[in-house]
Structure 1
Amino acid sequence: MRLRNKPWAKPLIKANPQWVVTEPEQWRGKWQERFAKPQPLYVEVGTGKGRFIVEMAQKYPDRNFIGLEMQAVAVGITLKKQLEAQLPNLQLVCANGSGLTEFFADDEVTGIFLNFSDPWPKKRNEKRRLTYKSFLASYKQVMQDDGLLEFKTDNRGLFEYSLCSMNNFGMHFEQVFLDLHDTDEDNVMTEYEEKFSKKGQPIYKLTAKF
């Protein structure tokens, strides 16, 4: 979802290089140096306004988190949350998620989160879906052998596509939820997720390994 331009966003990002990376290639294989201490590294591809990644960092202080987002306005909104929280285990990256293998070394990442990604419903845009085989290949390359991929969406078509795509790629499903909020599953929500679940929209989720 495109956000309205906020003139303050880019200056705020530029003024806080301790929290936001704009040239992630420079940190490939060295991300642990940006955190207070080395810990398992988790990456959210497409952070939106940042509720999920901030709350995850608060909930799991024994893990390090990176929120990757291409929209500067969204990064700026997340950065405001981080400036208030000052979480030592959270870093933000303003860049396109398609460059994952350029940003992270092989086996550098423990887990990846894909939350409410753009469904790109038209067939001609299939290669843009974050669960398309080329993206799955990049996740596999940067993740450790036992790393976990977590995917959530409100779009049934994208969920069905992702199940098939991951299955065809040879992934092993750990969990599959057709109505996440109708279970006792421990869950940290995104802003988008809360909005649509309140309207009664089922939330689909899966976790899988390569």
Structure 2
Amino acid sequence: MRQRNKPWADDFLMENTQLIIPNPSNYKGKWNTLFENNNPIHIEVGTGKGQFIVGMAKQYPDVNFIGIELAKSIVVTAAEKVLEADPTNVLLLNENASDLTEIFAEDEVSTIYLNFSDPWPKNRHEKRRLTYKAFLDQYKAILKQPGQVIFKTDNRELFEYSLVSLTDYGLRLEEVNLDLHAIQDESNIMTEYEEKFSAKGQPIYRLKAYF
């Protein structure tokens, strides 16, 4: 669904640089200095409207969360949620996550969340899928071993592709769940998208894997 343009988004970004960090490559290897602690860093690639990262920040106050979102109008919506909830352990980046090694140093991140990523269903677009081997190279480079990837989707084909991609790469699967909500995992924080589609009976798939 096309996002409504927010003509004031640029001003909002400039007024909230304490939350939406400009020039993030300047902090490569130094993200904990912004959080002013040495807690583990978890990143969400494609943070959407912010419900997941705000919920996680509340549930895990001893973890530092960084959400990355390319769409300016969407990261503004996420920032509004963060500002309203006022957690001290969330930062946002309005960036393309095409090269995470430009933003994070080796061993700087503990967990990567991939929530409802674009499935890019056509074969010619395989390299754009966030579980393609080139992205796995990046995740391995920035994750502190044993680094964890947690992936959720409502797209069965993308889930099956990701299972093959991760196992071929050599990741160790800890969980493969074909109907996440059937197990009533109270620790699961839903995204806005997940909430909407699970309410319609759409199964949600989740995997957890380690490098």
Relative to the length of structure 1, the TM-score reads: 0.98
Please report how far the alpha carbon of residue 2 of structure 1 lies from its aligned counterpart in structure 2 after TM superposition: 4.0
Deviation at residue 148 of structure 1 after TM alignment? 1.0
Q: Cα distance, 1:202 vs. partner? A: 0.2
CA RMSD of aligned residues (A): 0.9
Superposed, 1:23-38 pairs within 5 Å as 23-38=23-38
Structure 2: distance between partners of 1:152 and 1:119: 11
After TM superposition, give the deviation of residue 10 of structure 1 in Å: 2.0
- Is the contact between residue 50 and residue 82 of structure 2 (CA under 8 Å) also seen in structure 1? no
Quote the offset at 1:37 in angstroms: 2.1
Q: Map residues 1-210 of structure 1 onto 2, 5 A cutoff.
A: 2-185=2-185, 186-210=187-211
2:145 alignment partner, SS class: strand
* Cα distance in 2 between the residues matched to 1:181 and 1:9: 35
Segments of 5+ residues of structure 2 without an aligned counterpart are: none
Question: Would you say the 8 A contact 2:58–2:87 is kept in 1?
Answer: yes
* Identical positions, percent: 55
Residues of 1 paired with 2:91 and 2:4: CA distance?
A: 23
Cα distance in 2 for residues equivalent to 1:12 and 1:135: 31
Deviation at 1:5, TM superposition (A): 1.1
Question: 1:67 aligns to what SS in structure 2?
Answer: strand
**1:48 Cα deviation after fit:** 0.6
Distance 2:119 2:175 in 1: 21
Q: Please list every run of 5 or more consecutive structure 1 residues that lacks an aligned counterpart in the other structure.
A: none
Aligned length: 210
User: Runs in 1 of length 4+ with deviation above 2 angstroms?
Assistant: none
SS at match of 1:207: strand
The TM-score with structure 2 as length reference comes to: 0.97
The AA in structure 2 aligned to 1:126 is E
Deviations 1:17-64 (CA, angstroms, capped at 9, x unpaired): 111113111110000011142200000000010100011001100100
Q: Given that residues 13 and 79 in structure 1 are in contact (C-alpha distance below 8 angstroms), is that contact kept between their aligned partners in structure 2?
A: no
